[in-house]
Amino acid sequence: MPAVWAGGWSDDPAIEARVERLLKQMTLEEKLGQLSQYSGNMQTGPDTGRRDYKEMVAAGEIGSFLNVTGEQANRYQKIAVERSRLQIPLIFGLDVIHGYRTTFPIPLALSSTWDTELVERAARIAAMEASADGVRWTFSPMVDIARDPRWGRISEGAGEDPYLGSAMARAYVRGYQGESLSDPTSLLACLKHYVGYGAAEGGRDYNTTEIPERLLRDVYLPPFQAGVEQGAATVMSAFNALNGVPASANPFTLGQILRKEWQFRGFVVSDWTAIAETVAHGTAIDGADAARRSIVAGVDMDMQSDLYRTALADEITAGKVPVSIVDEAVRRVVRVKFAMGLFEDPYARIAPEKMLTPDHRQSAREAAEKSFVLLKNDGILPLKRGARVALIGPLADSAGNMLGGWSAKGEEADVVTLRSVLAKELGADVTYAKGTEISGGADGGFAEAIEAARSADVVILALGEDAPTMTGEAASRTELDLPGNQEQLLEAVAAVGKPVVLLLFSGRPLVLTRAVERAAAVLEAWFPGVEAGPALVRTLYGDSNPSGKLTASFPRSVGQLPVYYNHLSTGRPLPGEFDPNSIGSASKYTSRYIDQANSPLFPFGFGLSYTTFSYGPVKLEALSYSAAELDMGKAEVKISAEVTNSGLRPGQEVVQLYISQRGTSVARPVRELKGFRRVALQPGETKAVEFALGRDELAFWNIDMQDVVEPGKLKVWIAGSSKDGIPAELTIE
Ligand code: NOJ
């Protein structure tokens, strides 16, 4: 499949000629230097112990840094381009995950906007700010599909669905890289973590993954392929072993799929010490063996293992690694450096005035508002002006947490908290009580919280996780309810009898089964970024109408995990919903638990609004299509439905298209997302929403492991969530 390369950087004959000329001049040591990356300041994993970077750069032993920014980056660059023999510039990379100085909502929240234009804009803003501080490469987007919220890194991705994940992957890549890599505001994107990292067994970070090839190709690979086709310049190989083979030394995923099938022309960087870790996995005997296996498999750059530079030369001399493999890796790295224009313009123009502009803040606020998911509302929201408010909870005034678990250069002082906005707007009509800590809190603060609730008309309770310690990397949890004694605080406050609006701040789906019963309204706010306070207050008071939809299912209990919407049916599906009284009845021998429903508490695609939307029947243009024509891209299934704002407020609805196929050579999921659109509707307004299903949407990896459209029956839903709607059915012959 021909790749759609952004900016045409990968096949410019002038660049190719320069690459070859440079390669001819390089010593083996200089080549290995280009393939070696070191962390400048922060150590977010095992340390190499090396700090003699200036000498190393001068000797041509380093090709790239991570965690070096600003003037320090320019200082290293000066050494590289003035003192190293071949004057090859360095690339500076950083984890710019959801904004640089202007912190946007965390990626899971951004995905909940279902707004690819907005995500692209957020990534562009991040690129403009980061590049104005010397960073030209981000280790983002994380496009790992995550079906298990125990895994802390579910916060960094777009949730459980490959179709949405692919759309988000493309949006990030477009935003980061912009029109051309040679634009000084362009950041190299890095699709990570290739591949299967999100399927960690038991949700425990870094754990083994077992993914059969069909599932890999149908579910885990598509977002990577989408990002590659969009022109992503780099890919990061993951920590995990996939089906027993470490992902950072996997010839099948790196060589066969990424390079051969997708024709990826950029370079692959390992995750932090992932090459060295293949020794712990047990496939590599020692460091030299690890370096050999990884470079041969197709990992071009070594992040922090310090092995390519120190061990590969001997492997080459011993004839264990052909130098042609090293040459090819060097080509890939310097090709990107040429395409970035670094040889002509190696220095960053540091421009603090480009950070956190009013426009950037405005986009961060819009993103936060669109990311909020209203999970429950008995009518208390939006709040009425004039009501006395008790603002309670450890997250009501926590600037640090609003920045999420991994903000690049966000500062607490930049954050506008919920408490500060409410205090300004309501004055004496708001009372604040922290109530407890996020975790490890005693109940000493409960009395003050109860008192505040008593004297108010409504309680806003801000609860959730501690972003830096409980979400992101190395933050897997086995319990997913509210940490510490926050559930007790909720009970105590709810017992006062005033309506409770529960605001949740989390980096993952939580188990809210009990909490939801206590609250009159529940709004999932994730970690919303610098504009948390204004976005929340506008939403609470109805200046902004919630429109976010879940991109990962919220389980009823940890015992249900994994729970995701696009599962297979089984031969004994549970008819209807769980009924505890039916034990011993006809549904006894069906696939279910005896003590709980199979369904999640809140499904994928779910999210309420202050208005309501109604859906007309799914309209089909034809009742049958030819599989061969669909497969060749000569036909498309056209479907539409009318969507009406049936409530009293203007609102935006994320209209979702789902399919399910039967009669196929392998069982297909009960539903799969294959289209979505954000539609703005005034009260009473109706719009027809049309979708087309072509090869890209209908093909799957069949029993012969071919990616084809098969004959069968096709059900189609157009609905507001993965659990709603009435399907129409057509035939593919
Ligand atoms: C390890 C993480 O897994 C990866 O996502 C990140 O980009 C690198 N460290 C660099 O910080």
Nearest to 4, CA basis, from 232, 186, 190, 335: 232
243: left (phi over 0), alpha (psi -120 to 50) or beta: left
| Shared-domain flag, residues 191 and 292 | yes
Report pLDDT digits (tens) over 551-568. Answer: 999 999 999 999 999 999
- Does ligand 1 come within 6 angstroms of the Cβ of 473? yes
- Taking a C-beta distance cutoff of 8 angstroms, is the pair 476, 151 a contact? yes
- Taking a C-beta distance cutoff of 8 angstroms, is the pair 446, 489 a contact? yes
- Hey, which of 153, 192, 195, 248 would you mutate to test ligand 1's pocket, going by the most ligand atoms within 8 Å of its Cβ? 192
- Please tell me the distance between residue 600's alpha carbon and the centre of ligand 1 in angstroms: 31
* CA-based end-to-end distance of the chain: 26
Atom of ligand 1 nearest to the CA of 140: 7
Supply the residue whose CA is at minimum distance from atom 10 of ligand 1. 272
Report pLDDT digits (tens) over 333-387. Answer: 999 999 999 999 999 999 999 999 999 999 999 999 999 999 999 999 999 999 9
| Shared-domain flag, residues 325 and 230 | yes
- Please tell me the distance between residue 70's alpha carbon and the centre of ligand 1 in angstroms: 20
- Hey, which of 42, 43, 67, 139 would you mutate to test ligand 1's pocket, going by the most ligand atoms within 8 Å of its Cβ? 139
| Shared-domain flag, residues 400 and 332 | no
What percent helix, strand, coil does the chain show, rounded to 5?
35, 20, 45
| Shared-domain flag, residues 167 and 97 | yes
> What does the block give as tokens for 7?
């900016």
In a domain, 565, yes or no: no
> What does the block give as tokens for 545?
């109408």
Q: Is the pLDDT of residue 674 over 70?
A: yes
Q: Is the pLDDT of residue 7 over 50?
A: no
- Please tell me the distance between residue 272's alpha carbon and the centre of ligand 1 in angstroms: 6
User: H or E segment at 222?
Assistant: helix 222-229
> What does the block give as tokens for 603?
């499904």
| Shared-domain flag, residues 145 and 211 | yes
- Taking a C-beta distance cutoff of 8 angstroms, is the pair 80, 334 a contact? no
- Taking a C-beta distance cutoff of 8 angstroms, is the pair 484, 438 a contact? yes
Q: What is the average pLDDT across 399-428?
A: 97
- Does ligand 1 come within 6 angstroms of the Cβ of 67? no
Tokens 């020794």 found at: 279
In a domain, 589, yes or no: no
Task: Tell which of 491, 508, 540 closes a domain.
Answer: 540
Helices 287-297 & 323-339 angle (0-180, nearest 10): 60
| Shared-domain flag, residues 333 and 376 | no
- Please tell me the distance between residue 142's alpha carbon and the centre of ligand 1 in angstroms: 10
SS3 638: strand
DSSP classification of residue 602: B
Mean pLDDT, the chain, integer: 96
Task: Tell which of 516, 540, 564 closes a domain.
Answer: 540
CA–CA separation, 58 and 48 (whole Å): 19
- Please tell me the distance between residue 139's alpha carbon and the centre of ligand 1 in angstroms: 7
Nearest to 38, CA basis, from 267, 314, 273: 273
What is the pLDDT at residue 584? 60
Q: Which of 45-59, 556-570, 572-586 has the lowest mean pLDDT?
A: 572-586
In a domain, 344, yes or no: no
User: 703 exposed, middle or buried (CB, 10 Å; 0-12, 13-18, 19+)?
Assistant: exposed
Peptide linkage before 141 cis (omega within 30 of 0): yes
CA–CA separation, 206 and 239 (whole Å): 6
CA 603 vs. chain centroid, Å, equals 18
| Shared-domain flag, residues 308 and 387 | no
| Shared-domain flag, residues 414 and 526 | yes
Helices 116-131 & 162-177 angle (0-180, nearest 10): 40
What is the pLDDT at residue 10? 74
In a domain, 562, yes or no: no
Report pLDDT digits (tens) over 93-108. Answer: 999 999 999 999 999 9
- Please tell me the distance between residue 410's alpha carbon and the centre of ligand 1 in angstroms: 18
Range of the domain at 656: 611-733
Contacts of residue 307, Cβ cutoff 8 Å, sequence gap at least 6:
275, 276, 287, 288, 290, 291
In a domain, 146, yes or no: yes
- Does ligand 1 come within 6 angstroms of the Cβ of 185? no
- Please tell me the distance between residue 528's alpha carbon and the centre of ligand 1 in angstroms: 22
Contacts of residue 497, Cβ cutoff 8 Å, sequence gap at least 6:
none
- Does ligand 1 come within 6 angstroms of the Cβ of 153? no
271 as an active site residue: the answer is yes
Tokens 């060749």 found at: 632
572 φ, ψ to 5°? -130, 65
- Hey, which of 41, 473, 476 would you mutate to test ligand 1's pocket, going by the most ligand atoms within 8 Å of its Cβ? 473
DSSP string, 603-623: -TT--B-SS-EEE-PPEES-S
Q: Which runs of E-coded beta strand occur in 98-163?
A: 137-138
| Shared-domain flag, residues 335 and 384 | no
Q: Is the dihedral of CA 337, 339, 345, 347 positive or negative?
A: negative
Q: Is the pLDDT of residue 643 over 70?
A: yes
What is the pLDDT at residue 46? 85
Nearest to 99, CA basis, from 72, 117, 121: 121
| Shared-domain flag, residues 91 and 44 | yes
In the chain, what percentage of residues exceed pLDDT 70?
98
- Does ligand 1 come within 6 angstroms of the Cβ of 192? yes
Given 133, 144, 271, 289, the catalytic residue: 271
Atom of ligand 1 nearest to the CA of 42: 11
- Hey, which of 151, 206, 272, 471 would you mutate to test ligand 1's pocket, going by the most ligand atoms within 8 Å of its Cβ? 272
CA–CA separation, 178 and 181 (whole Å): 7
Q: Is the pLDDT of residue 504 over 70?
A: yes
> What does the block give as tokens for 394?
């450890």
Supply the residue whose CA is at minimum distance from atom 11 of ligand 1. 95
Q: Is the pLDDT of residue 3 over 60?
A: no
DSSP classification of residue 335: H
Peptide linkage before 193 cis (omega within 30 of 0): yes
Tokens 């949405």 found at: 164
Nearest to 506, CA basis, from 372, 610, 397, 600: 372
Helices 532-540 & 418-426 angle (0-180, nearest 10): 50
Q: Is the pLDDT of residue 569 over 50?
A: yes
Please report, for the domain that includes residue 728, its CATH number: 2.60.40.10
Task: Tell which of 520, 540, 560 closes a domain.
Answer: 540
CA–CA separation, 662 and 716 (whole Å): 12
In a domain, 567, yes or no: no
Atom of ligand 1 nearest to the CA of 192: 5
Q: How confident is the model at residue 43 (pLDDT cuts 50, 70, 90)?
A: confident
- Does ligand 1 come within 6 angstroms of the Cβ of 61? no
Q: What is the average pLDDT across 427-435?
A: 97
- Taking a C-beta distance cutoff of 8 angstroms, is the pair 349, 184 a contact? yes
Please report, for the domain that includes residue 294, its CATH number: 3.20.20.300
- Please tell me the distance between residue 88's alpha carbon and the centre of ligand 1 in angstroms: 25
CA 139 vs. chain centroid, Å, equals 12
Report pLDDT digits (tens) over 434-452. Answer: 999 999 988 899 999 999 9
Atom of ligand 1 nearest to the CA of 239: 3
User: 479 exposed, middle or buried (CB, 10 Å; 0-12, 13-18, 19+)?
Assistant: exposed
CA–CA separation, 110 and 96 (whole Å): 14
In a domain, 583, yes or no: no
CA 153 vs. chain centroid, Å, equals 9
Burial 653-669 (b: 16+ CB within 10 A, else e): bbbbbbbbbeebeeebb
- Does ligand 1 come within 6 angstroms of the Cβ of 414? no
Supply the residue whose CA is at minimum distance from atom 7 of ligand 1. 139
Q: Is the dihedral of CA 476, 481, 482, 488 positive or negative?
A: negative
CA–CA separation, 564 and 121 (whole Å): 29
- Please tell me the distance between residue 642's alpha carbon and the centre of ligand 1 in angstroms: 44
Contacts of residue 319, Cβ cutoff 8 Å, sequence gap at least 6:
none
Q: Is the pLDDT of residue 419 over 90?
A: yes
Angle formed at CA 166 by CA 161 and CA 169, multiple of 5 degrees: 120
Atom of ligand 1 nearest to the CA of 142: 5
Which residues, listed in sequence order, are joined to residue 505 by a DSSP beta bridge?
464
| Shared-domain flag, residues 661 and 729 | yes
- Does ligand 1 come within 6 angstroms of the Cβ of 676? no
| Shared-domain flag, residues 150 and 14 | yes
**Total domains in the fold of the chain:** 3
Please report, for the domain that includes residue 427, its CATH number: 3.40.50.1700
- Please tell me the distance between residue 441's alpha carbon and the centre of ligand 1 in angstroms: 31
* Strand 245-246 to 241-242 pairing: antiparallel
Q: Which runs of E-coded beta strand occur in 414-561?
A: 430-433, 458-464, 500-505, 521-524
- Does ligand 1 come within 6 angstroms of the Cβ of 664? no
- Does ligand 1 come within 6 angstroms of the Cβ of 65? no
Supply the residue whose CA is at minimum distance from atom 1 of ligand 1. 272
- Taking a C-beta distance cutoff of 8 angstroms, is the pair 595, 578 a contact? no
Radius of gyration from C-alpha coordinates of the chain? 26
What is the pLDDT at residue 1? 33
> What does the block give as tokens for 211?
């993914």
| Residue 231 to residues 3, 190, 227, 263, Cα–Cα distance (Å) | 7, 10, 7, 11
Supply the residue whose CA is at minimum distance from atom 4 of ligand 1. 271
> What does the block give as tokens for 245?
């083979």
Q: Read off the amino acid at residue 92.
A: F
- The model's pTM: 0.98
In a domain, 198, yes or no: yes
- Does ligand 1 come within 6 angstroms of the Cβ of 272? yes
